[in-house]
Chain A
Amino acid sequence: MLLIHCPWCGPRDESEFGYGGEADIARPPDPDALSDAEWADYVFMRTNTKGRFKEQWVHIHGCGRWFTLVRDTVTHEHGEAGVFGGVEPEADG
């Protein structure tokens, strides 16, 4: 059971979070411009990294925000969370 440091709520049990798989899979701006293979790569293919892996999580049962986390898939060590845009940062938050 990981203890995940939500960038907004602080350390919480893994059970409060949802797992969103590999991070940085951007939706292609113009899907029609892609070949079938390129589209399939976006939809279906993910790396299966052994070691440090950047993934996304969502604090479903907490603040509801998505964030990124680098986790070592061998040791489960995980580092600081990264945030997505769209919410203004604040000094004391």
Chain B
Amino acid sequence: MADSLAVTHPLADPLSGPPEQTGPDSAAVVLTAEPPLVLLDLRCRDRAALDGFLKKPLGLASPPVARAVSNARGVLFRLGPDWWQLRCRDRKLAARLLKAGAAGPVGATDISDAWLAVGVAGPRARDVLAKAATVDLHPEAFPAGSAARTLFGRVTVVIARLADDEPPAFDVTVSRSNARFLWRWLADAAREYGYTLKPFSGGGA
């Protein structure tokens, strides 16, 4: 994005803190720091208008609240009845939508750098998240496509399960300022099962 300003990632390698592998089974939980996001906040009071706004550039229609849909161009999270977050795969799509969303029924705001995503995967991923999450993560209650904005301990996050992989893979969106705290918290929570940490290495957005 920026030519002369280096992009930093708070979960970049090397990250001082917990060891990168520990516990009885280092594959029980795998924590992955995802690359910087291209993220738009979308507000609209009328779902049909939002669908119209996104149809051509994104090719996705809005899911119900607390669900997410995705394709090769992006992941659309429905956080509330009038509130979406769109993770774009590239900046061009985001720029187009931002321009289109400057006026009209959809308000689009660039919040890319405000959030980071952490992958929590593995056979004990559910248990690690359940240590703080009060939403029910059982596959019956939280099937693929679930995306709950919720309180995680004392941090607000979006916990999503985009594919129905088993063992499960969860995607946790956390505010940038809380990212390291969450990372350390998750690693500490995974200690009893064992974990592998994959901090972000290389490449800006």
Contacts and interface: CB of A to CB of B under 8 A. Distances in A.
A13 B79 CA distance: 17
Nearest to A64: B80
Interface residues of A, number: 20
Contact of A61 (B65, B66, B156): B156
Contacts of B150: 12, 16, 61-62
Contact of B151 (A8, A15, A65, A88): A15
Interface size class of B (residues with CB under 8 A): 10 to 19
A86 B43 CA distance: 12
Contacts of A86: 45, 82
Given A88-B47, A88-B48, 6 more contacts: A9-B149, A62-B79, A65-B80, A65-B81, A87-B81, A88-B46
B105 to A, nearest CB: 11
B80 to A, nearest CB: 3
Nearest to B136: A11
B65 A9 contact: yes
A93 interface: yes
Contacts of A88: 45-48
Interface of A: 8-10, 12-13, 15-16, 59-65, 86-88, 90, 92-93
B140 to A, nearest CB: 14
Contacts of B47: 88, 90, 93
CB-based closest 8 A-B pairs: A63-B80, A61-B151, A13-B134, A87-B81, A8-B65, A88-B46, A61-B156, A16-B151
User: Which interface residue of A9, A10, A13, A59 has the most chain B CB atoms within 10 A?
Assistant: A9
Contacts of A15: 134, 151
Nearest to B66: A9
A93 B65 contact: yes
A60 B155 CA distance: 12
Contacts of A65: 80-82
